[in-house]
Amino acid sequence: MHSTASETERAGAAAGAPAQDAAASRTPLRATADNGLKIVIVGGFGVGKTTMVRSVSEIRPLSTEETMTRAGVGVDDPTGVEAKSTTTVAFDFGRISVNDSAVLYLFGAPGQERFWFLWDRLFSGTLGAVVLVDTRRLDDSWYAIDRLEAHGMPFIVARNDFGGPQHSPEQVREALDLSPDIPLIDCDARDRESAKTVLITLVDHLYALSVQETAP
């Protein structure tokens, strides 16, 4: 049992989980809070999702995971042993209180292909998404952008500045095959003001879409 526990600790540390006592660090919500909202920050490994959550969250980012089992699709295994596959997705989150009623949760979610069948389950009802990209690894973002479009989920793209070679916004837009109506901005995920600007850009975009939709 002891070895199991220590392996678990290592696994948690390797995943970058903060080793805090969550209960001690938690700021309680207002007693009147009754409407949870979601925004998802999606991107490849190491692109700065958790950093961005940390920059704006009123609590230290927490980590958890969801495990789902699904019947194998297109699996042709005569033994039947592998007929089901279990996928575990770990994600971090933080939160921002909006008013007496609404509280916004920010989720940092991995953008890899194997994660996407969980999207409906985890993130249905999400207001919108930020695709966080590293221009040194743009191909990490193609799949996420494709899936968001397929889900009809409004999103913006934020380029996290890692000090690599400079590409013009037009070059990035072209490389990502991004349509002109989707906002693209630069950011530094470590910087609170910059991370704020990213979220404001997303909500401004949502607002514009909402006004469009309700226009006669």
Partner 1 sequence: MRRLGPDDDPDRLYTVTGGRSRAADDRTLDLVTLIVSECEPAPGMQSEHVRILAMCRRPVAVVEVSAELRMPVSVVRILLSDLLDTGKVTARHPRPVTQAHLPDTDLLKEVLDALHRL
User: What is the phi/psi pair of residue 105, to 5°?
Assistant: -100, 135
Q: Give CA–CA dist 49/106, Å, rounded.
A: 10
User: Per rule CB under 8 A, is residue 37 in the interface with partner 1?
Assistant: yes
Answer for which of 46, 68, 114, 136 binds partner 1 (CB under 8 A) is: 68
Helices (H) and strands (E) in the chain, counts: 7, 7
User: Per rule CB under 8 A, is residue 35 in the interface with partner 1?
Assistant: yes
User: Per rule CB under 8 A, is residue 36 in the interface with partner 1?
Assistant: yes
Q: What is the 3-state secondary structure (H, E, C) of 96-129?
A: EECCCCEEEEEEEEECCHHHHHHHHHHHCCCCEE
User: Per rule CB under 8 A, is residue 81 in the interface with partner 1?
Assistant: no
A 10 A CB-CB count for 109 gives 24
Answer for which of 33, 138, 175, 185 binds partner 1 (CB under 8 A) is: 33
Q: Are 155 and 128 in contact, with CB atoms under 8 Å apart?
A: yes
A 10 A CB-CB count for 160 gives 22
Q: Give CA–CA dist 170/157, Å, rounded.
A: 13
Nearer to partner 1, 76 or 213 (CB): 213
Residue length, the chain?
A: 216
Nearer to partner 1, 17 or 189 (CB): 17
Shortest CB 33 distance to partner 1, Å: 5
Nearer to partner 1, 138 or 203 (CB): 203
User: Per rule CB under 8 A, is residue 38 in the interface with partner 1?
Assistant: yes
Nearer to partner 1, 99 or 171 (CB): 99
Shortest CB 177 distance to partner 1, Å: 21
Residues engaged in binding partner 1 (CB under 8 A): 1, 4-5, 7-12, 15, 17, 21-23, 26, 28-31, 33-38, 56, 62-69, 88, 93, 95-99, 102-105, 107, 122-127, 151-154, 192, 196, 199-200, 203-204, 206-207, 209-211, 213-214
